[in-house]
Amino acid sequence: MRFLVFCLVALGALWMAWAQDARVGELLPREATFENPSGRLTVLNADGPVATKGHPFFEPVGTNGRACVTCHQPANAMSVSGDAIRERWRASGGKDPIFAAIDGSNNPSLPQDQEASHSLLLKRGLFRIALQWPPARNAEPEFTIEVVSDPTGVNRDPRWGLTGVAHAVSVFRRPRPVANLKYVLEPDSTPFNVKLGVLLDKDPETGLPVSMNMMADARAGTLKIQAEDAYRTHLEGKKGLTPGELAQITAFEKQVYVAQTWDRGAKELTGGDGPGALGPANLLKEQAGVLNSPAKPVFLSFAAWQKDTEFRQSVARGNDIFLNRQFWVKNVGHINSIGLGNPAKRSCAVCHNAVMSGMDRAPGWVDLGTTNYPTWTEPDVASTTAELPVFKVTCRAEAKPHPFLGRVIYTSDPGRALITGKCADIGAITMGQFRGLAARAPYFVNGSAKTLMELVDYYDRRFDMRLTGQEKQDLVNFLGVL
């Protein structure tokens, strides 16, 4: 068995090396397992092996040498880790297409052969997302936006900046895993966004509501729209994807599942009478669209591990803290402002309530505080170590202000507000899924948490959770096996 796992890992690593360079022509097997710092992740192709040669997800179909797989690597839970990015810089001398000037650098106007010009990608795994301002959907936004600090120079750049030719706000974000998407795409059971009292966006082709949970700012509602957007921006495609290419890309994305399957501490994560949520086969098997309940908790039951090895007991305790430990959730836009009260004495699972994914069943963009002053993850604005841009956002007098930050807000990423133009959305970022976390550090939309412990530390500080060192470690161990 160990030999078999070793072979799969070796094969997977070999395949990955090819895929990274977009030199495709191999078969991505039905199950491929990859090493990561915590253990092993398995990629499961539910529809069987995928021939990557000629496949538009794996081929550089744009103009800059990138393919979708460039930033959605099987070994990294279909996202891309900071370690993998740094390794690619070393291996390619910065020539890998992932470092394309358009968004793989801090600013396309900088000299692209220098490491410093790609520091946000290399340090934090962040890609530049340039969003037109004012947004196309809302020509009269509720706020004005000024660039306060621009470490990369891109937001004041005469070509790429806010007042430049592009008329764009550039923010820097982590890529999301393109896997387990039935859990991401399943819309809430009502056609409404129950948090905001408005209708969900619709799929323009089917007219049916979409989940609005796929992207950090929910700007694309369907895989097809996202693929077309990524083709034009990240891949710098010009001629457009054909219907056949779009169909191939979205079909692949819908059938791929990822999760950890082996952990250095917990060992085998699947099989036997272990937790029923672990491993990609269980993600394939379970139904999407299920809300957390006592009968079906978010990550099902870890009871079998409560009397197991010390590490597995720690994981089970972490799951228990996630589900049941109550603390005061305070000043979170689109959580405390939607009829739950501010503060609300709740547990993690009240917001991370979707079974198997840990996302929100309702559209999950919330202002947790990671990108907005004073709870943001960044050093002081004035600090010379600041890496991200800072914007001053001023809400118009007649607009509804941000519920907990008022009318003047300093932010490193206005999030959903860059799409809607609404003050209430400033800093609101869609929560991501919890699966394959061990394979895709760093965390948070801005890559500010290098480790799961740093992620847990942020929550502990943000909500004064008063977790003990052991409890933090329990949460880290729990998150790491997902």
Footprint of another protein on this chain (CB under 8 A)?
Answer: 190-192, 194-199, 328, 330-331, 336-345, 400-401, 403-406
Closer to another protein by CB, 129 or 338: give it: 338
**Nearest distance in Å: CB 337, another protein:** 7
- Give the torsion through C-alpha atoms of 216, 221, 222, 226, to 10 deg: -50
The CA radius of gyration of the chain, in Å to the nearest whole number, is: 21
The minimum distance between CB 343 and another protein, in angstroms, equals 6
Q: What are phi and psi of 170, to 5 degrees?
A: -100, 120
Using DSSP's 3-state secondary structure scheme, residue 14 falls into helix
CA distance 411 to 376: 8
93/191 with CB nearer another protein:
191
- Closest CB to another protein among residues 111, 207: 207
Q: Residue 130: beta bridge partners?
A: 170
DSSP states along 409-455? EEES--BTHHHH--GGGTTBEEPPP-TTGGGS-SBSTT--BSSHHHH
State which residue, 27 or 194, has the beta carbon closest to another protein. Answer: 194
Pairing of β 143-149 and β 390-395: antiparallel
Please, is 330 exposed, middle or buried when counting C-beta atoms within 10 Å of its C-beta (0-12, 13-18, 19+)? middle
Could you give phi then psi for residue 291, rounded to 5 degrees? -90, 140
Q: How far apart are CB 440 and another protein at their closest, in Å?
A: 32
Residue 143 to residues 395, 400, 448: CA-CA distances in angstroms?
Answer: 4, 10, 26
Taking the complex as a whole, the smallest distance from the CB of residue 340 to another protein amounts, in Å, to 7
Nearest distance from C-beta of residue 411 to another protein, angstroms: 16
The residue among 197 and 272 lying less far from another protein, judged by its C-beta, is 197
Secondary structure of 66-116 in HEC code, one letter for each residue? CCHHHHCEHHHCCECCHHHHHHHHHHHCCCCHHHCCCCCCCCCCCCCCCHH
Nearer to another protein, 54 or 406 (CB): 406
DSSP string, 360-412: -SS--EEB-SSSBTTT-SS--TT-TT--S-EEEEEE-TTSPPBTTTBTEEEES
Which of 276/343 has CB closer to another protein? 343
Nearer to another protein, 169 or 355 (CB): 355
Write down the least CB distance from residue 232 to another protein, Å. Answer: 28
Asked if residues 103 and 234 have their Cβ atoms less than 8 Å apart, the reply is yes
Sign of CA dihedral 169, 170, 172, 174: positive
Q: What is the DSSP string of 173-224?
A: EPPPP--SHHHHHPPPSSSEETTTTEEPPB-TTT--B----SSTT----SHH
CB of 292 to another protein, least distance (A): 12
- Rank residues 207 and 469 by Cβ distance to another protein and give the closer one: 207
d(CA 21, CA 9): 19
Q: Work out how close the CB of 139 gets to another protein at its nearest, in angstroms, rounded to a whole number.
A: 18
Q: Please tell me the distance from the alpha carbon of residue 482 to that of residue 470, in angstroms, as a whole number.
A: 19
In angstroms, what is the minimal distance from the CB of 345 to another protein? 5
Whether the Cβ atoms of residue 413 and residue 173 lie closer than 8 Å to each other: yes
CB 292 within 8 A of CB 299: no
What is the nearest approach in angstroms of another protein to the Cβ of residue 341?
3
CA 238 to CA 302: how far, in whole Å?
A: 49
Nearer to another protein, 188 or 378 (CB): 188
CB of 422 to another protein, least distance (A): 13
| Least distance in angstroms from the C-beta of 420 to another protein | 15
Q: Which CB, 207 or 244, lies closer to another protein?
A: 207
For another protein, the closer CB: 137 or 345: 345
